[in-house]
Amino acid sequence: MKNKTVLKNYQLKIKKLNYHNKLYFEKSNPAISDSDYDKLKKEILELEKNYKFLNHNKSPSKKVGFKPSKLFEKYEHKVKMLSLSNAFDTNDLKNFEKKIFNYLDKKIKLDYSVEPKIDGISASLTYINKKLTVGASRGDGKIGEVITENIKTIPDIPIKIENDNFPNEIEIRGEIFIRKKDFLKIKDNFANPRNAASGSLRQKDPKETKKIPLNFIAYTFGSFQNNNFKLQSDFLRDLKKWGFKTNKDNKILTNINELIDFHKEFEKKRFELDYDVDGLVYKVNDLNLQNRLGYTSNSPRWAIAHKFSADSANTKVIKIEIQVGRTGALTPVAKVEPVNIGGVVVSNATLHNEDEIDRKDIRIGDLVKIERAGDVIPHVIEVDKTKRSKSSKKFKFPTICPSCGSNTIKEFNTVTKKYDAVRRCTNDSFGCEKIAIEKLKHFISKEALNIDGLGKKVVEKFWDLNFIKKPQDIFSLDYNIITNLDGWGTQSVNNLKNSIENSKTVSLQRFIYSLGIRHVGIENAKLISDNIKNISNFIDLIKSKQFDSFLNIDGIGETQIKSLKNFFSNKSNISIVIELSSLLKIQSQILNGNGILKGKSFMFTGKLDGISRAEAKSLVEKNSGSTLSNVSKNLDYLVVGEKATNKKVEQAKTLGIDIISLEELKKLLN
Compare residues 197 and 349 and give the one whose CB is closer to ligand IVH.
197
Examine residue 262 and tell whether it contacts ligand IVH (CB under 6 A). Answer: no
Compare residues 220 and 403 and give the one whose CB is closer to ligand IVH.
220
Query: Cα–Cα distances in Å, from 78 out to 67, 223, 274?
Result: 16, 6, 33
Examine residue 395 and tell whether it contacts ligand IVH (CB under 6 A). Answer: no
Cα–Cα distance between 203 and 651 in angstroms, integer?
A: 56
Of the candidates 88, 94, 35, 93, the one whose C-alpha atom is nearest the C-alpha of residue 307 is 88
Compare residues 26 and 579 and give the one whose CB is closer to ligand IVH.
26
Cα dihedral 635, 641, 642, 648, rounded to 10, equals 0
Cα–Cα distance between 378 and 375 in angstroms, integer?
A: 9
Of 235-243, 297-305, 588-596, 634-642, the segment contacting ligand IVH by CB under 6 A is: 297-305
DSSP string, 138-149: -TTSSEEEB-HH
CB of 218 to ligand IVH, least distance (A): 9
Count of residues in contact with ligand IVH, rule CB under 6 A? 14
Compare residues 120 and 453 and give the one whose CB is closer to ligand IVH.
120
Of 78-86, 358-366, 384-392, 447-455, the segment contacting ligand IVH by CB under 6 A is: 78-86
Count other C-beta atoms under 10 Å from residue 545's C-beta. Answer: 12
Examine residue 196 and tell whether it contacts ligand IVH (CB under 6 A). Answer: no
The residues annotated with a catalytic role in the active site are 117
Examine residue 621 and tell whether it contacts ligand IVH (CB under 6 A). Answer: no
The amino acid at 562: K
Examine residue 281 and tell whether it contacts ligand IVH (CB under 6 A). Answer: yes
Compare residues 223 and 536 and give the one whose CB is closer to ligand IVH.
223
Q: How far is CA 354 from the centre of its chain?
A: 25
Q: How far is CA 215 from the centre of its chain?
A: 26
Of 91-99, 298-306, 440-448, 631-639, the segment contacting ligand IVH by CB under 6 A is: 298-306
Tell me, letter by letter, the H, E, C secondary structure of 562-621.
Answer: HHHHHHHCCHHHHHHHHHHHHHCEEECCCHHHHCCCCCCEEEEECECCCCCHHHHHHHHH
Compare residues 146 and 628 and give the one whose CB is closer to ligand IVH.
146
CB of 79 to ligand IVH, least distance (A): 10
Which residues ranging from 220 to 249 are in contact with ligand IVH (CB under 6 A)? Answer: 220
CB of 60 to ligand IVH, least distance (A): 12
Examine residue 304 and tell whether it contacts ligand IVH (CB under 6 A). Answer: no
Of 110-118, 405-413, 422-430, 637-645, the segment contacting ligand IVH by CB under 6 A is: 110-118
CB burial string 170-201: b at 16+ within 10 A, e below: bbbbbbbbbbbebbeebbeebbbbbbbbbbbb
Compare residues 80 and 622 and give the one whose CB is closer to ligand IVH.
80
Examine residue 219 and tell whether it contacts ligand IVH (CB under 6 A). Answer: yes
* Cβ-based neighbours of 335, under 8 Å, separated by 6 or more: 317, 318, 319, 320, 321, 347, 348
> For ligand IVH, which residue of 110, 147, 305, 586 counts as binding (CB under 6 A)?
305
Cα–Cα distance between 604 and 588 in angstroms, integer?
A: 25
Cα–Cα distance between 537 and 232 in angstroms, integer?
A: 83
Compare residues 124 and 472 and give the one whose CB is closer to ligand IVH.
124
Examine residue 100 and tell whether it contacts ligand IVH (CB under 6 A). Answer: no
CA angle 341, 323, 448 (to 5 degrees): 95
Examine residue 303 and tell whether it contacts ligand IVH (CB under 6 A). Answer: yes
Check if the beta carbon of residue 525 is closer than 8 Å to that of residue 510: yes
Query: Collapsing DSSP states into helix, strand and coil, what is residue 649?
Result: helix
Examine residue 218 and tell whether it contacts ligand IVH (CB under 6 A). Answer: no
CA angle 472, 476, 482 (to 5 degrees): 120
CB of 308 to ligand IVH, least distance (A): 13
CB of 167 to ligand IVH, least distance (A): 19
CB of 122 to ligand IVH, least distance (A): 3
* Cβ-based neighbours of 669, under 8 Å, separated by 6 or more: 596, 597, 619, 623
* Cβ-based neighbours of 244, under 8 Å, separated by 6 or more: 156, 158, 172, 174, 216, 218
> For ligand IVH, which residue of 34, 171, 175, 354 counts as binding (CB under 6 A)?
175
> For ligand IVH, which residue of 84, 293, 313, 458 counts as binding (CB under 6 A)?
84
Of 67-75, 81-89, 251-259, 604-612, the segment contacting ligand IVH by CB under 6 A is: 81-89
Of the candidates 366, 367, 369, the one whose C-alpha atom is nearest the C-alpha of residue 381 is 369
CB of 163 to ligand IVH, least distance (A): 22
Examine residue 135 and tell whether it contacts ligand IVH (CB under 6 A). Answer: no
> For ligand IVH, which residue of 17, 44, 47, 82 counts as binding (CB under 6 A)?
82
> For ligand IVH, which residue of 69, 83, 90, 624 counts as binding (CB under 6 A)?
83
Query: Collapsing DSSP states into helix, strand and coil, what is residue 419?
Result: strand
Examine residue 280 and tell whether it contacts ligand IVH (CB under 6 A). Answer: no
Compare residues 84 and 512 and give the one whose CB is closer to ligand IVH.
84
Q: Which residue intervals of 51-186 are DSSP H helices?
A: 90-104, 148-152, 180-186
Strands 626-627 and 601-605: parallel
The amino acid at 313: A
Examine residue 570 and tell whether it contacts ligand IVH (CB under 6 A). Answer: no
Compare residues 175 and 366 and give the one whose CB is closer to ligand IVH.
175
Examine residue 215 and tell whether it contacts ligand IVH (CB under 6 A). Answer: no
Examine residue 202 and tell whether it contacts ligand IVH (CB under 6 A). Answer: no
Check if the beta carbon of residue 606 is closer than 8 Å to that of residue 640: yes
Check if the beta carbon of residue 23 is closer than 8 Å to that of residue 29: yes
Examine residue 447 and tell whether it contacts ligand IVH (CB under 6 A). Answer: no
CB of 258 to ligand IVH, least distance (A): 18
CB of 279 to ligand IVH, least distance (A): 8
Compare residues 13 and 307 and give the one whose CB is closer to ligand IVH.
307
The amino acid at 375: D
Check if the beta carbon of residue 113 is closer than 8 Å to that of residue 236: yes
x-marked contacts with ligand IVH along 111-130 as a string, rule CB under 6 A: ----x-xx---x--------
Interface residue list for ligand IVH (CB under 6 A): 82-84, 115, 117-118, 122, 175, 219-220, 281, 300, 303, 305
